[in-house]
Structure 1
């Protein structure tokens, strides 16, 4: 869905860019209805040889990591729409090349709103997400129904519903923008009035002495956007009240939409013009997303997948408090080494896990500090931006 929407956007509205190749793992003959089907390829080498910038939107931690590493070997900058990858291997990758999350999904939208707020003199205290519906343990039947109705996969539908996705999104925002969490799994306030909930979160952040990330579950008003809770200079209070943001001291800045593929082009253009990183997981993260058991499981039980599965869900944690946790993004085709209980955080002692490049990166991150993000020299780009999509 992301690739199709992005391709149509570039073709119709961006005269200074061209989609050069689209990488897919599917047989090319099965994608004859894909826009720009003639640009599809199964060859990563062909993709890399024909672009100046790569947009990675596979949603796959393992495949996406391999594609991005190859892109960095070729000196290419990468724009992602893959928060799952960012919170699993993204900090390592951010030390190896130019990596930024795109505007359009909630993390990128929050980062863009953060930039706007700073330019207006606001001091962000809370980076907030809005969650329309939450069920920590949905049934496979319900998820199949809603996946079919919404036209997306059961895995995606489940990760949205059980809260894993919002935890992942807020962790990348926290790491990228220097915020923390008030508790494991976030507050997730039930909210009938955004300003009231925002003020409560603002007070929590001030009591903690550091900006926080969190989310609300709205009732009685529309969800789907992102918001900041901010302070401003006291002498500006009369003007801000006149501008209809209230009397303070906490001000809520709302971005009531995130349009995914329709906004990715803004970040691509930003990078091609020499702009810096909008958002990534930073090279020194303090937060992670642990795998939490949804039910009791026995030794030897197979784990098909973590994100979007029916055995685990993700919760935001502080890394220094859970040094042996398994990032939920790593759980794929693994097996339990011993029984676990509902609500238990899964550690590497609990599972047998298959080798992968993503696993190697996670273990390397834990052994040594990561390096700072390399500077990207946009002067190396030609006038026309050749954009390839990794999927």
Structure 2
């Protein structure tokens, strides 16, 4: 019998722990090593504790494939760089990393986002409907609630209630997470955005919201990546697409409506459980599901939620009470600071509420992630100039 594929896992948070438990029930894949920055002696209840290591070289030596799911841009970038030095394929569930440094890795080795979070689910749904002849106009995410500037007390309450970190629940609530996800979708699936920060219309239901966005995309002249604020919508994704005129009667019979725009919904995303599908896809030679591409057109800039004074420190951008992230076209925002790089930064001149932060406004520590972004932005801007 063929030996099981050895999976190295980077991270020990919610996603990593769930994936480890899921792999325990499989016969064709095994967890071989788990990389953590924590003190291992204090992780007594962690599953497969005997596989924990603080050494990236140990995970490389013991793995056929590495799954990176730390949610940390700076650290994850350093780890992937070392994994690539051993020519191992990498699967991420880390859209924050993908939109910041994923393009740096796209032509250096094999890197793909996994199914499970909304971007990977949209990529898989896209593959499915393209094979049926649909022509996508809207790659859509769904959000039940949005508060661009939530207060800390509310976020602490919801974090404890849902067993989420303060940083995570804040990035969900203020829209940073969905802006990042839809930026990855735009770059990976070759779509545009309608405007800075996305259009993000409110909708009573997914179908009507999808049709509204499809009309905007048709007028715009290209497929778009965006999301609906839809309190009654499912925790999933959707694509609104066109089809051939001669299929209208059949699609009406199939309960997709009269057209010309048809909304196809996946009403769930199951995070770590769906990573198993992407692992097998890669093992079986299925290729990249989704990544940020080598020359992305869209980024996620940092926008001040409030006035920030010179000398103030921002320990983290994603999930901060000082800034949030908004999707921007790179060619129109040269020098903007991607929110994924805004870690342990010091503001060097006053920033007004609503202002995008640029590299000229901050001092940030040197890192491989910073180098990776500078290379990515240069390539993207040069491509635009050539095309122009």
Q: Secondary structure at the match of 1:157?
A: helix
Choose between structure 1 and 2 for higher RCO, CA contacts under 8 A separated by at least 6 residues. 1
Pairwise CA RMSD? 1.2
**Which residue, 105, 116, 137 being the options, matches 1:104?**
116
Question: How far off its partner does 1:369 sit?
Answer: 6.0
Cα displacement string for residues 154-199 of structure 1 (whole angstroms, at most 9, x for unaligned residues): 0000000000000000000000000011111011111102221111
Q: Is 2:290 the partner of 1:279?
A: yes
In 2, distance between residues paired with 1:27 and 1:116?
43
TM-score (norm 2): 0.94
Equivalent residue number for residue 5 of structure 1: 18
Equivalent residue number for residue 295 of structure 1: 306
Equivalent residue number for residue 375 of structure 1: none
In 2, distance between residues paired with 1:152 and 1:29?
23
Q: Is 2:49 the partner of 1:49?
A: no
Q: Is 2:163 the partner of 1:151?
A: yes
**Which residue, 288, 303, 319 being the options, matches 2:330?**
319
Change (3 A) 1:368 1:115: closer
In 1, distance between residues paired with 2:161 and 2:41?
26
Question: How far off its partner does 1:367 sit?
Answer: 3.3
Q: 5+ residue gaps in structure 1?
A: 371-391
**Which residue, 271, 281, 303 being the options, matches 1:270?**
281
In 2, distance between residues paired with 1:237 and 1:246?
9
Change (3 A) 1:328 1:204: same
Q: Is 2:209 the partner of 1:203?
A: no
How many residue pairs align between the two structures? Answer: 369
In 1, distance between residues paired with 2:59 and 2:197?
39
In 2, distance between residues paired with 1:103 and 1:120?
20
**Which residue, 234, 249, 255 being the options, matches 2:245?**
234
Question: How far off its partner does 1:284 sit?
Answer: 1.2
Matches within 5 A, 1:342-353: 342-353=353-364
- Alignment check: 8 A CA contact 2:176 2:325 kept: yes
In 2, distance between residues paired with 1:318 and 1:363?
15
In 1, distance between residues paired with 2:149 and 2:380?
36
Q: 5+ residue gaps in structure 2?
A: 1-13, 382-388
In 1, distance between residues paired with 2:89 and 2:332?
33
Q: Is 2:132 the partner of 1:120?
A: yes
In 1, distance between residues paired with 2:356 and 2:316?
16
In 2, distance between residues paired with 1:73 and 1:246?
51
Q: Secondary structure at the match of 1:190?
A: coil
Equivalent residue number for residue 386 of structure 2: none
Q: Is 2:126 the partner of 1:80?
A: no
In 1, distance between residues paired with 2:373 and 2:128?
33
